[in-house]
Amino acid sequence: MPEPLLQVKDLTVTFPNSRGGVRAVRGVDYTVDEGEFLGIVGESGSGKSVSSLAVMGLLPSSAKIDGDITFRGDSLLGMSDRQLSRLRGREMAMIFQDPLSALTPVYTVGQQIQEALTLHDKNLQKRTAEKRAVELLKIVGIPAPERRVKAFPHEFSGGMRQRAMIAIAIANDPTLIIADEPTTALDVTIQAQILEVLQKAKEVTGAAVVLITHDLGVVAGNVDRVAVMYAGKLVEKGPVDEVFHTPRMPYTMGLLRSVPNMLTAGKERLVPLEGRPPNLAELPPGCPFADRCPAVQDRCRTTEPELLAELGDGREVACHRADEIAAGTLKPNDIFPRPPHEERELKESDTLNPVVRAQDLVRHFPLYKGSVFRRVVGSVKAVDGVDFEVLPGETLGLVGESGSGKSTTALEIMELVTPQRGSLEVAGKDVGTLSKAQRLQMRQDVQIVFQDPMAAVDPRMPVGDIIAEPLTVHKVPRAERTRRVLEMLDLVGLAPEMTDRYPHEFSGGQRQRIGIARSLITNPKVLVLDEPVSALDVSVQAGVMNLLEDLRDRLGLSYLFVAHDLAIIREIADKIAVMYLGRIVEYGPVKEVYETPRHPYTRALMSAVPVPDPAIERERQRILLTGDLPSPTEDIPGCNFASRCPLFRMLDEDRQARCLGEDPAAVPHGGSTVACHHVDQIGQLDDVDISALSPTGD
């Protein structure tokens, strides 16, 4: 058997602090073979990034590293910075999460790629390095590389910067590429592009890739083997198909069952994985997952299971009950049973008056120029004429990439003022006609839950006061407030004695429950949910999603649910509005839109969402969108999606001319409304040749 490329043996990383230290990584073993694609999955704080930084020798000097890391048989831990830096970038390269901050702002992209080359080849001519930089940018699919090589990072979009990062990583033909959450900060359509580029980089260099992510869908479609990390340790390891189909560690099972799958969402409920990972500074004895594990036994609380390959089938599990699970006597459904699906009664929609109705809603932000005499030079068309309605007890999902105007739309409703154009009705009243007192009164009816639960609450206020705050605005007496706070805490599943505690004592999921309690305390009719679960770890998302579903059905609430995640929208929404550059391009019942998407953008968006199922993921045809979102300040005479439209490029000239010259209006097709001239041609996208559409440098 050939020697593995990278071997990590019993790796331990401790960050010393005044009370002994935080053990971020606690004995991790894994190997990476030449040319292999390994995925490491874990939630935030599981130690997945720390362990990979340890491999690269990029941890801060205060970190204490034990164990052994060998690369091609050479131990890395004993090496000096100088020795390591000869390996870094040449033999092993790394791609980081946040492409916005990972490039030095003061050097051009070209200079930074050239630096990667010249650092390892002092004799390299400047000319040759420049040429090579252009070539590399071309490989990673940056259009007009000769020009772009001279651009500064701030002139690149997020997706292009990440491409540049990949170009730097493959500059010296490395044998190992570590990608640490390379797509987490990006939109789903850009994520699909970047994963494609990563695959291409792997082919071009033949390097082994270690992909670190929290997203099971991203892992499913790309890697050969997967390792699951929890609380600083690997808890399960094996070939990706087997781990996804027959997980043996209860944590893996829980994780897989808690993630909404875009293809099946809405049919069965998500399984919540309650609790939170243990504090690595004061780890109790036993299995770190014991507190959250429904299949816990006494021995789990006393001894921690080792990662063992007992069954000899190439899979390793750290669980005392692994043999039972492997034998099939302990099934995932016994450990994490799916909560019963609650029947929803939706009233006949024709007879209902919508709680929110927007017609031709517009929100433009003026762009100014000049410091002494400010003048308007253009406008950002954040929301550019959208129509939608939310019926009582119904959920409208608003999806789109960042910059599509979905959050602005949500905030426009919260503002309750006359829109710049069009009309907005809330609870049957036109908000433009409201007096000041009526508007204050109406604020009780419309409440919001924000994305980041920690940023949305005052950290110096006890939870009881946070939840009661909306009532103090509406001058509700103290005794009544206290009564309502307790009622709300009960409603969202928090203990009543928590009123006196402060936000930092709660986990992310609990904090979001506090945010939900605060929004519900005024008995609202409509709840605007602005990405309510996207800041949460995957395992706690499910709990919050289920809570939101239950509350809606029990209290008869209406939701406007803003999200970028199509799986989550399918899980909770009744209707969906797909937004692109301030417009709604497709609007209709969830079932219809997901089963027969009619707008090419909806198609592309759906095909970009990774599904946490390796078998399906490998079969799926991806429609890749080229390039980035155009600037919302541009005046586009025709369809504003034409520049990226995959269908547009397949049409004949007459049809194309129509796309470019005429702004498509939203027209009913079946149960949906679609803003596309060529809905009848959408079938062409079913049998596309992917390679013809993938972005290569033009």
Partner 1 sequence: MIKYILRRFVNYLILTVVATVFAYIAASLFFFPRRRYLGVNPPIPEDSIDGILSAYGVNDKDPVLLRTWWWIERVLFEPLSQKLGQDLNGDWVVLEIISRAGLSLRLLLLGALLAAILGVALGVWGAVRQYKASDQFVSYSSFILISTPTFVGGVILMIVATNVNDLIGFQAIRFTGPSTPGIDGFFPQVWDGFVHLLLPTIALMLFGAASYSRYQRSLMLDVLGSDFIRTARAKGATRNHALVKHGVRVALIPMSTYFAYSFGTLVAGSAFLEIIFSWEGMGKYGIVAVQTSDVNALAGNVCFTAVLLLFSSTLSEVLYAALDPRVRV
Total residues contacting partner 1 (rule CB under 8 A)?
Answer: 36
User: Which residue, 96 or 559, is less far from partner 1 as judged by CB?
Assistant: 96
Q: Which of residues 94-113 bind partner 1 (CB under 8 A)?
A: 94, 96, 98, 101-108, 112
Q: What is the CB neighbour count within 10 angstroms for residue 653?
A: 7
Closest approach, Cβ 167 to partner 1, in A, equals 11
Strands 558-563 and 526-530: parallel
CA separation for the pair 246, 239 (Å, rounded): 11
Tell which positions 368-387 bind partner 1, by CB under 8 A.
371-372
Looking at the Cβ atoms of 185 and 290, the one nearer to partner 1 is 185
* Interacting residues with partner 1 between 154 and 183 (CB under 8 A): 154, 165, 168-169, 171-172
Q: Which long-range contacts (CB under 8 A, 24 or more apart) does 226-229 make?
A: 226/38, 226/39, 226/40, 226/41, 227/30, 227/38, 227/39, 227/40, 227/41, 228/40, 228/41, 228/42, 228/252, 228/255, 229/28, 229/40, 229/41, 229/42, 229/46, 229/47, 229/48, 229/51
Instruction: Output DSSP code: residue 459.
Output: T
Q: From the CB of 84, what's the least distance to partner 1, in Å? A: 9
Q: Rounded to the nearest whole angstrom, what is the least distance from the CB of residue 85 to partner 1 in the complex?
A: 5
Is residue 132 at the binding interface for partner 1, with CB under 8 A as the rule?
Answer: no
25 lies in the site for partner 1, by CB under 8 A: no
Q: Report how far residue 413's alpha carbon sits from residue 287's, in angstroms, rounded to the nearest whole number.
A: 47
The string of DSSP codes covering 373-424 is S-EEEEEEEEEEEEEEEE-TT-EEEEE--TTSSHHHHHHHHHH-S--SEEEE
Residues 552, 558, 562, 568, CA torsion sign: positive
Instruction: Establish if 298 lies at the interface with partner 1 (CB under 8 A).
Output: no
Give the separation between CA 582 and CA 591, rounded to whole angstroms: 24
Q: Does 15 bind partner 1 (CB under 8 A)?
A: no
Nearer to partner 1 by Cβ, of 90 and 599: the residue is 90
For the window 325-364, what string marks contact with partner 1 as x by the rule CB under 8 A?
Answer: ----------------------------------------
Angle (CA) 311 317 53, round 5° = 135
Tell me which of 15, 152, 365, 502 binds partner 1, using CB under 8 A: 152
Question: In degrees, to the nearest 5, what angle opens at C-alpha 650 toward C-alphas 644 and 656?
Answer: 75
Minimum distance between the CB of residue 122 and partner 1, rounded to whole angstroms?
Answer: 12
CA dihedral sign, ordered 434, 436, 437, 439: positive
Nearest distance from C-beta of residue 106 to partner 1, angstroms: 6
Calpha distance 262→172 (Å, rounded): 38
CB of 96 to partner 1, least distance (A): 6
Spatial distance between the Cα atoms of 606 and 608, rounded to a whole number of angstroms = 5
Choose, by CB under 8 A, the member of 3, 20, 75, 86 that binds partner 1: 86
Whole-number Å distance between alpha carbons of 49 and 102? 15
Between 103 and 194, CB nearer to partner 1: 103
**Facing residues of 577 across strands?**
398, 587
What minimum distance in Å lies between the beta carbon of 10 and partner 1?
24
Quick one: which of 9, 72, 120, 421 contacts partner 1 (CB under 8 A)?
Answer: 120
Among positions 77, 79, 119, 486, the unique one binding partner 1 when judged by CB under 8 A: 119
Contacts of 80 (CB under 8 A, 6+ apart): none
Based on the shown chain and the rule CB under 8 A, indicate whether residue 324 belongs to the binding site for partner 1.
Answer: no
Q: Which is nearer to partner 1, 19 or 82 (CB)?
A: 82
* Cβ–Cβ under 8 Å, residues 530 and 479: no
Q: Which stretch binds partner 1 (CB under 8 A): 114-122, 359-367, 386-394, 619-627?
A: 114-122
Tell me whether residue 152 or residue 365 sits nearer to partner 1 (CB atom).
152
Candidates 47, 89, 247, 278; binder of partner 1 (CB under 8 A) is 89
Among 31, 70, 85, 596, binds partner 1 (CB under 8 A): 85
Q: Considering the complex, state which of residue 148 and residue 575 has its C-beta at the smaller distance from partner 1.
A: 148
Q: Smallest distance, Å, CB 347 to partner 1?
A: 52
In the block, tokens 């699951």 appear at 228
Does position 631 interact with partner 1 (CB under 8 A)? The reply is no
- Which residue among 115, 274, 387, 415 contacts partner 1 (CB under 8 A)? 115
- In the bound complex, what is the minimum distance in angstroms from residue 74's beta carbon to partner 1? 16
Nearer of residues 53 and 468 to partner 1, judged by Cβ? 53
- Sites for partner 1 among residues 37-76 (CB under 8 A): 56, 58
Which residues are 213's β-sheet partners? 41
- 3-state secondary structure (DSSP) of residue 691: helix
CA dist., res. 132 & res. 118, Å (int): 11
To the nearest 5 percent, what fractions of the chain are helix, strand and coil?
35, 20, 40
Interacting residues with partner 1 (CB under 8 A): 56, 58, 81-82, 85-90, 93-94, 96, 98, 101-108, 112, 115-116, 119-120, 152, 154, 165, 168-169, 171-172, 371-372
